[in-house]
Chain A
Amino acid sequence: MAEIGHGGKEIQERIMQPAEAKEKIKGLTQIPVRKQIANEIINLAYGWFCPLEGFMGKDDVDGVVKNMRLADGTIWPIPILFDLSQDEVEKFGVKPGQSVVLEYQDNPMALFEVTEVFEYDKAAICQAVLGTTEDKHPGCARTYSYKDKFVAGKITLLKEPKINEPFGPYFLPPLKMRAVIKEKGWNRTVAHQTRNVPHTGHEWLMKGAFFQTYGDLPIEKPEVGVVVNAIIGEKRVKDYIDEAIILCQDELEKSGYFGPHNHLSSLTFWDMRYAGPKEAVFHAILRANLGITHHMYGRDHAGVGDYYGAYEAHHLLDTVGEELDITPVYSMNWLYCPVCAEITSEGLCNHKDQQQKFSGTLIRSIVTDGVKPPRLIIRPEVFDQIMACAEKYGEGSPFVTEEYLEKRTPVFNIEPL
């Protein structure tokens, strides 16, 4: 049976057989690409970006900027762009009708069938997608850093990437993820977007969303799975290291706070644009393509600073909900209440003066001190896993350092054909 993705299009992997790949790239110019582009090539080839089959042309970008839609009317909130400088366009002889090979880590990665070379006003992109043109917004900074020419065309991966440990088991592209969900027998699934190591506040966000998603389904057998989908992309100093994020999320399942019958950890390669509401819609598309039926959204989803209102993403999702193959599940914050003596929801407990809220900075400060918090705050197995990851992958720190960025094993490698 065909697997239908966003926009009603069938998800088909765009990956060549090795013999075909060698033949197809003979004599073609090779263009090296950076990590962001390599991530997006993977997304295009496996169907995370369905219905896109390649980097966008001007009509699509124009539609996204003006109406949050592709040229054919499909909802799409963030342009997927391949940039080159004018010098590079000339040097590599990039022109419509001429295929080139995209190269990553010095190896051929993808065939790029160029259809168009164009320019687009970057400030207009920023204003439309991010709601601001200020270069201190990290999404604007990224957009302004693009070179001046954009190149459109279909992408086909020449060979599957080698996903390095410990990430291998969590790389579940759309067709694979859909097969796993079927195997588990889940009727509904709910996506948890994360770039965090989980404390119990996060654990309860997932548990709350599990119940919201369960709704009217029968309870004789497990019908709902929480799918943690960690965003693995550009790291900044003091973020949690990728290895700790994915292994600690999985630890909640391994240690029995969830189980394989209701929980699954996975990852998506993507450099956050911090586009708030627009990124919320984008995340919905990614997860719909993964075959997930529901998506958790808390306050200020994918926001940064005070650019977006706490519920702006929810409002935007509500306007386009009909066209997304995924149902938003809105989450209230969870906190610790010493009177209730438990983790509870801000929507439930009324001991307003005594509630102890989770704060990312507070938790980081505890983790930095290496002081194991009560199990009601961070599960002891998760805390031990954080410390183990720090030793094994983080040069002693669970947070990104310059040393980690320099020495870490890449998440994936492109190997010779």
Chain B
Amino acid sequence: MAGKNPIYLWVNEERYEQLEKAGLAHHTEERLAGLKVLIVYADDDQAKTFVQKFGAKHDTSTTGSIELLPKDVKHRLFEKVVEKQSIDVVGDVLASYS
């Protein structure tokens, strides 16, 4: 479970309200002119799966962030956060595809 590779989930007002209800709004950070982002983390094995199975790009040289994930994966990640009231959701979402 080594590695801490960020995945950025962008948060509009509607999403922010959902996060508030789930008690997770304080996890958001502000980027780009105040746009909110919720960051969930994948471990190295999960990052590999995202690259191999979903064609994502793993920026290992700088931030380690996982980019170019398909829309469906990103939506499931956010939905799972709200449902589970936790940001530890990457494993659940990957399992939902198997």
Interface residues of B in 28-79 (CB under 8 A from A): 31-35, 55, 57, 59, 65, 67-71, 74-75, 78
A366 and B71 contacting across the interface, CB-CB below 8 Å:
no
B32 and A371 contacting across the interface, CB-CB below 8 Å:
no
B12 to chain A: closest residue by CB: A371
Contact with B along A375-386 (1 / 0, CB 8 A): 011000000000
CA distance A338 to B70 in the complex (A): 30
B33 and A370 contacting across the interface, CB-CB below 8 Å:
no
Asked if A369 is an interface residue, CB under 8 A from chain B, the answer is yes
Asked if A193 is an interface residue, CB under 8 A from chain B, the answer is no
| Nearest chain A CB to B14 CB, angstrom units | 9
Known contacts A361-B68, A364-B68, A369-B74; A377 and B9 CB within 8 A of each other: no
Choice from B31, B35, B55, B71 contacting A368 with Cβ under 8 Å = B71
A338 and B15 contacting across the interface, CB-CB below 8 Å:
no
Note all chain A residues with C-beta closer than 8 A to B70: 368
A337 to chain B: closest residue by CB: B33
A238 and B33 contacting across the interface, CB-CB below 8 Å:
no
A366 and B35 contacting across the interface, CB-CB below 8 Å:
yes
Interface residues of A in 33-68 (CB under 8 A from B): none
Note all chain B residues with C-beta closer than 8 A to A374: 32-35
| Nearest chain B CB to A197 CB, angstrom units | 15
Asked if A96 is an interface residue, CB under 8 A from chain B, the answer is no
A356 and B31 contacting across the interface, CB-CB below 8 Å:
yes
B10 and A377 contacting across the interface, CB-CB below 8 Å:
no
Choice from A368, A373, A396 contacting B69 with Cβ under 8 Å = A368
Known contacts A364-B68, A368-B71; A356 and B8 CB within 8 A of each other: no
Asked if A2 is an interface residue, CB under 8 A from chain B, the answer is no
Query: Interface SS of chain A: helix, strand, loop or mixed?
Result: loop
B32 and A356 contacting across the interface, CB-CB below 8 Å:
yes
Note all chain B residues with C-beta closer than 8 A to A30: none
Q: Using a Cβ–Cβ cut-off of 8 Å, how many residues does chain B contribute to the interface with A?
A: 23
CA distance A280 to B55 in the complex (A): 31
CA distance A364 to B11 in the complex (A): 14
Interface centre among A338, A371, A377 (most CB of B within 10 A): A371
Query: Interface SS of chain B: helix, strand, loop or mixed?
Result: mixed
Note all chain A residues with C-beta closer than 8 A to B33: 336, 338, 356, 373-374, 376-377
A397 and B71 contacting across the interface, CB-CB below 8 Å:
yes
Asked if A362 is an interface residue, CB under 8 A from chain B, the answer is yes
CA distance A123 to B57 in the complex (A): 30
Asked if A98 is an interface residue, CB under 8 A from chain B, the answer is no
CA distance A361 to B11 in the complex (A): 16
| Nearest chain A CB to B71 CB, angstrom units | 5
Choice from B11, B55, B69 contacting A371 with Cβ under 8 Å = B11
CA distance A356 to B34 in the complex (A): 10
Note all chain A residues with C-beta closer than 8 A to B68: 238, 361, 364-365, 368
Asked if A315 is an interface residue, CB under 8 A from chain B, the answer is no
B59 to chain A: closest residue by CB: A361
| Nearest chain B CB to A176 CB, angstrom units | 37
A362 and B74 contacting across the interface, CB-CB below 8 Å:
no
Note all chain A residues with C-beta closer than 8 A to B59: 361
CA distance A220 to B33 in the complex (A): 35
Known contacts A371-B15, A397-B71; A365 and B31 CB within 8 A of each other: no
Note all chain A residues with C-beta closer than 8 A to B57: 361
Note all chain B residues with C-beta closer than 8 A to A408: none
B71 and A365 contacting across the interface, CB-CB below 8 Å:
no
Known: A361-B59, A364-B68, A365-B10. 18 other contacts (CB 8 A): A238-B55, A238-B68, A338-B34, A356-B31, A356-B33, A358-B32, A361-B57, A361-B68, A362-B32, A365-B69, A366-B32, A368-B68, A368-B69, A368-B71, A368-B74, A371-B35, A372-B12, A373-B10
Q: Which residues of B contact A (CB under 8 A)?
A: 8-12, 15, 31-35, 55, 57, 59, 65, 67-71, 74-75, 78
* 19 chain-A/chain-B pairs, Cβ below 8 angstroms: A238-B55, A338-B34, A356-B32, A361-B68, A362-B8, A364-B67, A364-B68, A365-B10, A365-B67, A365-B68, A366-B32, A368-B70, A368-B74, A369-B9, A369-B74, A371-B10, A371-B12, A376-B33, A377-B33
**Which 4 pairs, one residue from A and one from B, show the smallest C-beta to C-beta distance?**
A371-B10, A374-B33, A369-B10, A376-B33
